[in-house]
Structure 1
Amino acid sequence: MMHRGRYGAVAQFFHWATAVFVLVAFTFGPGGSEQRVYAHARDFDRQLHETLGLCVLALVVMRVLWRIVDTQPDPPQVSLWMRVAAKAVQWTLYLFLFALPLTAIVGAWLEGHPLTLLAGLEIPPFLGVSHKAGATVATIHTWLGDAILWLAGFHALAGLYHHFVLKDGVLVSMLPRWLPLRRSNGD
């Protein structure tokens, strides 16, 4: 059976905006030791990274709320293992999208650092300082950042597999109508 329907423009916006923000945030993540992350020379990168991280958190909250009221296209007819894998990847991506910004916030605050956003806006720590715990949470944040890129890459490859091998329209369902890509089987 052919996959029918598309995600709406709002769902597509949330999907692609989240993907772009995560990728740019990863690119500008200062990474490394606490001294490197909070070095004056890294202020812009850190501020952009933290601003985008909070945008990702806001987007994923809105995305989940939208998903509750929005209708999704019919799922393709695939084997049980593919359905299970797709759901596992989808829910793991959502978990990471919440966990990444939250671990960044908690790690920074436990280390005694405010969140510093673009334009110099600071959100002071609301947690007591526990430097060792903060460093541990910051390390978890780094691991999650790497993991979400690997998982998102796998997700993208699965979309391409659906398009070019299964020819079921899954990839097209998440693309805006103005893109020239159509189902690869000519439908």
Structure 2
Amino acid sequence: MSAATSVVARYPSALRLIHWTTVLGILIAYGLTYAEALFARGSAGRAWIWWTHISVGLLILALVCARVMVRGTTPMPPPSAALTPLMHFASRAAHLALYALLFAVPLIGIWLAFLRGNEVSFFGLFTIPAPIPVDRPFGRQVQEVHEWLANALIAVAAIHGAAALWHHFVRRDDVLARMLPGRR
């Protein structure tokens, strides 16, 4: 039976919404880091870039927490029958890496903001003042870790996305279809 005619055991709609919103958030947060160069140091535009970057990072952290809660409280479909044991192992490893990075990158980003003496704001809805002393030299080291882990997140996410597209267009199985938006 082809993937087109088979019934696809899809992930719950809440999980699919969280997944695609997280993807969009990652693209925005990462893209904003390149927009920084368009504005002079100390300008309002540059401050807006970082305010938005931090707000989106907090949103990503909230989304990954929500995702963990949904996964823990909602029945999930079994793994796709199209996956070989090796593919299933690789998928699990990639997902674990993504979860670890989705937690680590925003948390280290928050720590970085605090080390710089900045408060952390979530789209102006609430603000958390820096609870630790300013330490700019250490902050530069933390920034390097934050950037390295963000690049690792992009790399793992790109591999994850490429694998999903390979399943969809080359293998023509249900792996990607299970996470696509739309009705059940």
* Structure 1 residue runs without a partner (length 5+): 180-187
Deviating beyond 6 angstroms after TM superposition, the runs of 4 or more aligned structure 1 residues are none
Change (3 A) 1:60 1:38: farther
From 62, 86, 89, the counterpart of 2:91: 86
Scaled by the length of structure 2, the TM-score of the pair is 0.85
Kindly indicate whether structure 1 or structure 2 has the higher relative contact order, using CA contacts under 8 Å at least 6 residues apart: 2
Change (3 A) 1:131 1:175: same
3-state SS of the aligned residue for 1:173?
Answer: coil
Which aligned pairs between 1:47-126 and structure 2 lie closer than 5 A? 47-77=51-81, 78-119=83-124, 122-126=127-131
The answer as to 2:163 corresponding to 1:158 is yes
Q: CA deviation at 1:167?
A: 2.2
* Structure 2 residue runs without a partner (length 5+): none
The alignment yields a C-alpha RMSD, in angstroms, of: 2.6
Aligned partner letter, 2:107: L
Scaled by the length of structure 1, the TM-score of the pair is 0.83
Aligned partner letter, 1:12: R
Counterpart-to-counterpart distance in 1, 2:120 and 2:34: 14
Counterpart-to-counterpart distance in 1, 2:170 and 2:78: 19
From 162, 175, 179, the counterpart of 1:174: 179
Counterpart-to-counterpart distance in 1, 2:89 and 2:12: 24
Aligned partner letter, 1:93: L
The answer as to 2:17 corresponding to 1:13 is yes
Residue 43 of structure 1 corresponds to which residue in structure 2? Answer: 47
Counterpart-to-counterpart distance in 2, 1:31 and 1:99: 23
What is the total number of aligned residue pairs between the two structures? 177
Contact 2:10 2:179 survives alignment (8 Å) = yes
Percent identity over the alignment?
33
Q: 1:128-173: CA deviations, max 9, x gaps?
A: 2222222111111111222211111111111111112222201000
